[in-house]
Chains A and B, each alone.
Chain A
Amino acid sequence: MKPAPFEYHAPAGVDDVCSLLGSLEDAKILAGGQSLIPLLNFRLARPQHLVDINRIANLDRIYERDGGVAVQALARQAAVEDSELVARICPLLSAALGFVAHRVIRNRGTVCGSLAHADAASELPAVLLALGGNVVVRSSRGERTIPAGELFAGVFETTLAPDEVMVEAWFPALGEPFAILEESRRHGDFALAGVVRAGSRLALFGVAPTPVLADPSDPASGLQPSGDLEATPEFRIHLVRVLTERAFAA
């Protein structure tokens, strides 16, 4: 239950992060660490290098941009949850953060970190997908924007290249109607299944290797969720149908 040895780097700027990622083999970025450090403690992940971005100044802003709200890489989930700007422009994001683990975890965890970690059962990737947002990633080769629909590649996998770092996520403005509903065994646990409604769009989480967009009138179409000790595939499909109905009832 202790991390395996690694070399620790604490760069002072994003450019330094990019040059480290460009030159090091097998490096992982450490932001909030609320998902990565458990993986290190269990030794499910054993990267040779950890690039800690927490020392970088001015990378925790939450600001209005292009008709939406931008959340930088070091903005803690708790800060985004409490942000009046986010509550005004994108209240779906504020609501979703209440489902992300517990407040003590959100004090440290970051929004961009959750997106980069890409856990299929987590809320924020599905929120970004339902809203049609995007993320800005940077490397020594330059900067590019990845739309949510092209970001999630598989279980814990994104389309970021090994030398790229996510510097910002952008969530478009959305008023009513919106909803996020999930079913989990205990408050704060990962969802057995969950739905995000953004206007007329629907995204599902916990039922496929990545969050997926679905047709609100037939949300379970084509779904093949996996089963485990907590829920069978049939139960997950049942949950998707019930939660979708509730999300669109209002």
Chain B
Amino acid sequence: MKVNGIEYPSPGASRRLLSDHLRHDLGLTGTHVGCEHGVCGCCTVLLDGAPVRSCLMLAVQAEGHDVMTIEGLAGDGQALHPVQQAFHECHGLQCGFCTPGFVMSVVGLLAQHPNPNVQEIDEGIAGNLCRCTGYASIRRAVKRAAELSPSPLRAEGRGEGGT
């Protein structure tokens, strides 16, 4: 499977979840793991450009597909992805645990609705839980991300391929 543009060998055990494979086998610990049953949204990654829960997929199922994690949105030293920049500007994060999942969900949301209305924003982030920031600033961040995003938004992210 390809992760952030880099080809990786097959995962070992078939029962390995994609979330665990990313974190434990590939060292990509930016993908966070909260509930491990699809409720909290922390582990959201892009699979072929669409956001999915990495805790609800086996790693072997991602073989032959393109996975993008939070690490793939902007490389070290590069400008932040518009969604990351918007969360930064609008104080859309506090402890940061839920943030990678929110960012990946919002990348998917903006790919579907480049200029989301209030209802689309609420539905777009409803699958992600935040326990400290509160949702008001996250909603503002989504609106800001839409303003910052070049149109059409590049859901495939920026720093693909590294460097």
Q: Do they bind each other?
A: yes
A101 within 8 A of B: yes
* Residue contact B17 to A102, C-beta cutoff 8 Å: no
B92 within 8 A of A: no
Q: Kindly supply a per-residue 1/0 record for chain B positions 100-131, scoring 1 wherever the CB is within 8 Å of any chain A CB and 0 otherwise.
A: 00000100110010000000001110110000
List the B side residues contacting A104 at CB < 8 Å: 41, 44, 51-53, 105, 108, 127
* Residue contact A188 to B126, C-beta cutoff 8 Å: yes
Number of A residues with CB within 8 Å of any CB on chain B: 32
User: Which size class do B's interface residues fall under?
Assistant: 20 to 34
- Given A8-B60, A38-B38, A41-B37: A103 and B127 within 8 A (CB)? yes
A181 to B38, CA, bound (A): 24
* Residue contact A187 to B56, C-beta cutoff 8 Å: no
Residues of B within 8 A of A (CB): 13-15, 17, 20, 36-38, 41, 44, 47, 50-53, 55-58, 60-61, 105, 108-109, 112, 122-124, 126-127
Contacts A2-B15, A33-B61, A38-B38 given; 6 further ones with Cβ under 8 A?
A: A2-B17, A41-B37, A101-B127, A103-B51, A103-B109, A104-B44
- What are 26 contact pairs spanning A and B, CB under 8 A? A1-B36, A1-B37, A2-B20, A4-B15, A5-B15, A6-B14, A8-B58, A30-B58, A30-B61, A33-B58, A34-B56, A37-B57, A38-B37, A41-B17, A41-B37, A41-B55, A52-B61, A103-B51, A103-B109, A103-B127, A104-B105, A104-B108, A104-B127, A108-B47, A108-B56, A108-B57
